[in-house]
Amino acid sequence: MRFADYAKIYVTAGNGGAGSVHFRREKYVPKGGPDGGDGGKGGSIVLVGNAQLNTLLDLRYRKFIKAKPGAPGHSSRKTGKSGADILLSVPLGTTAFDAETRENLGEVMEDGQRLTIAEGGKGGLGNWHFKSSTHQTPQYAQEGLPGEERTVELELKLIADVGLVGFPNAGKSTLLSVLSDAKPKIADYPFTTLEPNLGVSMLPDYRSFVVADIPGIIEGAHEGKGLGLQFLRHIERNQLLLFVVSCEGDLVKEYKTLRDELHAYDPTLLALPRVLAISKTDLRSEASEPLSLPKEKGLEILQISSVTGSNIAELKERIWKILTQIREN
């Protein structure tokens, strides 16, 4: 599977180097004072945002990650060399948690952003720090501090302007393919989409927005049924939700079920603006009865066909208008 939105890694930062116990000894200075240098800092484990990545797959194969320790201090008050930091590239939208305490260690949202998940130990002080008027020849120095060691869980939540929400086989993947240049797997059976797909939708005048096709939700998804919790979290980063319901089903019932699943997973999701796209309208004949539409204040509804392209341009413009209003506010 090329896409991975979860990884567990065991990280150990480097220990700090020991301070040096040393005394200045030169030809004409046989009894010089203490000049033992400080130990070097241990290497840290650092996440680095990479806008070119969209998966945590590489980290699934790097279970144990250990940084090198700092070097001991030297004579002449020279500090030991610090251990090199280990930089782990992660996609934008990655959140790190301590696996044992569930402490949120932070999230990476920008290209080049750094997040330290295990801090290297501080180097120990050399013996010259402990010289005093009453203690001219200290025979001790500090040991370096140990580096942090923990198990870290990484979760990826895709960053997109628009999240496609719908049941399996509702036509989301086909819609994504006409809204953008994305080429998701499309077939006439449920759960064709087994991993989220991202596409960039282009409009005239160099306007664009990013669309995420979230794998089909089923009733009980918030409890982990179907693909359930595995992909629901990707909806959290979206600015707008585009519900896709096939005209072949019960529009009112299916839309309500989708809305209820999102509410059960995270009630705040329903605070996001919503657009309802009724898909596959090319399958309806002129003699078909009028569709029974959900009645919800503020819900924009558009009947579309990804096959014929009916109302696709209008849908893109409506989405752009809503996103523009969100950004202005």
If asked whether residues 240 and 289 sit together in one domain, one would say: yes
* Local confidence pLDDT in tens for the 329 residues of the chain: 356 778 999 999 999 999 999 998 877 777 778 999 999 999 999 999 998 887 888 898 888 999 999 999 999 999 999 999 999 999 888 999 999 999 999 999 999 999 999 999 999 999 999 998 888 889 999 999 999 999 999 988 777 889 888 887 777 778 888 888 655 444 444 444 446 677 788 888 888 888 888 775 644 444 444 444 455 667 777 889 999 998 888 888 889 988 888 888 888 888 889 999 998 888 877 656 778 888 888 888 999 998 898 999 999 999 999 999 988 87
State the pLDDT at residue 192.
44
Asked whether 279 and 170 are in contact (CB, 8 A), the reply is yes
Edge-to-edge strands of the sheet including 45-49? 86-90, 45-49, 114-118
Interacting residues of 8 by C-beta distance below 8 A, sequence separation 6+: 63, 99, 151, 152, 153, 154
If asked whether residues 175 and 253 sit together in one domain, one would say: yes
Radius of gyration of the chain (CA): 29
Q: Where does residue 173 rank: exposed (0-12), middle (13-18), buried (19+ CB within 10 A)?
A: buried
Q: How many domains does the chain have?
A: 2
If asked whether residues 31 and 147 sit together in one domain, one would say: yes
State the pLDDT at residue 324.
93
If asked whether residues 43 and 57 sit together in one domain, one would say: yes
If asked whether residues 138 and 186 sit together in one domain, one would say: no
Tell me the CATH number at 60: 2.70.210.12
If asked whether residues 151 and 244 sit together in one domain, one would say: no
pTM for the complete prediction?
0.69
| Residue 74 belongs to domain spanning | 1-156
* Domain limit, last residue, from 129, 156, 183: 156
If asked whether residues 7 and 148 sit together in one domain, one would say: yes
Interacting residues of 147 by C-beta distance below 8 A, sequence separation 6+: 12, 13, 14, 15, 16, 42, 43, 44, 67, 69, 118, 119, 120, 121
If asked whether residues 211 and 316 sit together in one domain, one would say: yes
Interacting residues of 28 by C-beta distance below 8 A, sequence separation 6+: none
State the pLDDT at residue 181.
67
